[in-house]
Amino acid sequence: MTTRRDGGYVPIEHPGVGPNLTIHGGVTIGRFTDEGTAATVSLRTGCGYIVAMRAGGATMLLQNMTTTLVQMRDTLVWHISAGFSLSAPWLTKTRDFPPIDWVAGTEGEAATMLESAVKIAHARRKFYAENMIANDQTTLPVRPDRPQIVILIDKDDFDDDDRARRRIQDALAELRRVGPAMGVVTFSAYLRGTGDYLSNSERETATTILAGRTRDEADLANVAEWSVRAFPRLAGPGHLALYDRGQARRLDAFRVTSLQIDDVADTAQDYLAGTRLDDRSADAVDEVYAERWNRTEVAEFLEYLRYGRVRERLNLSMDGALRINSAFDGLRQAAGPLVGAPDQVRTVDDLVTWCHVLRDVFNASVDD
Ligand SMILES: Nc1ncnc2c1ncn2[C@@H]1O[C@H](COP(=O)(O)OP(=O)(O)OP(=O)(O)O)[C@@H](O)[C@H]1O
Ligand SMILES: [Mg+2]
């Protein structure tokens, strides 16, 4: 349906923002190829994964899911990706409410995050159990002040850190056992579906299972209870298969652009404002959570986002970038709103735009 006759792939754009989204409604990731109906997966009470080869569309799927999840009032998104690659487009500017609630760009931080997730799941189980039994619930109800936590984990290209890696494996195994019923789930991307990538416990407990293009069928051997022979042919990186009750259904996954990510991060501020970790959960992880933006590597990352690009593209020192931007801030304060002036000067284009804005102001004042 979205494959052109020449074999090229026509991407479907992510539909963007919808009010009143909740994790209970599932995450729509694209459209089924056969019927064109919404392909919606659940990340409410079960974990999930995708297996895809290099350039198979895994990161895009995680961005696609993130785009929807950050707009949910009852959900917090945490990212794990080497060098913050998954999180960077979401944090290009400082906002009151970072759309990604916790970012891990190193194995050490990933281990800390996952161990905290386990603590949260245990704390929730302890404190809310009575209430759940009284209400005949097996799954903790989530809401804006006691949100679902969805941890998205990209294919790992981390530097080898064996100790952290073991902590990650242990935490993941425990999290998959206790997390889903307590509103904490993971969705992971893997290069292959073989036993060395995909643990048995993950395979057996996952409720959302997807595949993108793989190098060969052996990569899918472990993916799901499904005859590999009948595995559908996939046309491009946005073309995925969703395993559902013994069937593999093809779907066209949404594409998300950086521009759209920026927009969604802005629009989602309202939703994000009301979503806060409950006290029970926050107490269980106290300082580790409270200090997450202050730990060295995260702080460095934010510096990079704020000033690094300026330095890179304009060859400015960090000090120079700061001075230029504060000079323009000063102009803005003196002149009032300057239509078309960029928020921040990051690139040569931004500087040129400023010149045009100032030229217009100058011309207008000469005309007066
Ligand atoms: N749903 C989609 N629609 C259109 N294009 C897509 C889609 N998903 C991925 N692509 C394109 O395919 C390419 C690879 O996608 P992506 O980076 O998500 O794959 P990956 O599996 O994460 O790759 P890597 O192995 O490098 O991490 C990108 O150029 C991306 O724009
Ligand atoms: Mg990737």
Are 215 and 266 members of one domain? yes
Are 7 and 123 members of one domain? yes
Ligand 1 pocket, Cβ-based, cut-off 6 angstroms: 11, 52, 54-60, 155, 237-238, 253-255
- Which of 3, 60, 192, 256 has most ligand 1 atoms within 8 Å of CB, for mutation? 60
- Which of 59, 64, 254, 257 has most ligand 1 atoms within 8 Å of CB, for mutation? 59
Domain extent at residue 312: 299-362
Are 350 and 288 members of one domain? no
Are 268 and 335 members of one domain? no
Q: Does the pLDDT of residue 8 top 50, yes or no?
A: yes
Ligand 1 midpoint to CA 213 (Å): 11
Q: Is residue 34 part of a domain?
A: yes
Are 172 and 232 members of one domain? yes
Mean pLDDT of 219-225: 73
pLDDT in tens, 9-22: 667 889 876 778 99
Q: Is residue 65 part of a domain?
A: yes
Are 175 and 128 members of one domain? yes
Q: Is residue 368 part of a domain?
A: no
Are 128 and 255 members of one domain? yes
Ligand 1 midpoint to CA 61 (Å): 8
Q: Is residue 120 part of a domain?
A: yes
Ligand 1 midpoint to CA 58 (Å): 6
pLDDT band at 1; cut points 50, 70, 90: very low
Name 200's Cβ contacts closer than 8 Å, sequence gap at least 6: none
For atom 6 of ligand 1, which residue has the closest CA?
A: 238
pLDDT band at 225; cut points 50, 70, 90: low
Pairing of strands 184-190, 148-153: parallel
Are 157 and 43 members of one domain? yes
Considering the chain, what percentage of its residues have pLDDT values greater than 70? 90
State which H helix or E strand residue 147 sits in: none
- Counting the structural domains of the chain, the total is 2
Are 34 and 73 members of one domain? yes
Are 142 and 276 members of one domain? yes
Ligand 1 midpoint to CA 238 (Å): 7
**Nearest atom of ligand 1 to the alpha carbon of 60:** 18
Among 42-51, 249-258, 326-335, where is mean pLDDT lowest?
Answer: 326-335
> Tokens 């494996």 sit at which residue?
169
At 33 the three-state DSSP class reads coil
User: For the domain that residue 177 is a member of, what is the CATH number?
Assistant: 3.40.50.300
pLDDT band at 298; cut points 50, 70, 90: confident
Q: Is residue 367 part of a domain?
A: no
Are 324 and 280 members of one domain? no
Are 112 and 252 members of one domain? yes
Average pLDDT, rounded, for the chain: 87
pLDDT in tens, 110-126: 999 999 999 999 999 99
| CA–CA distance, 100 with 110 (Å, rounded to integer) | 14
Predicted pLDDT of residue 182 = 97
At 285 the three-state DSSP class reads helix
Single residue among 292, 327, 348 that ends a domain in this structure? 292
Furthest C-alpha separation in the chain: 77
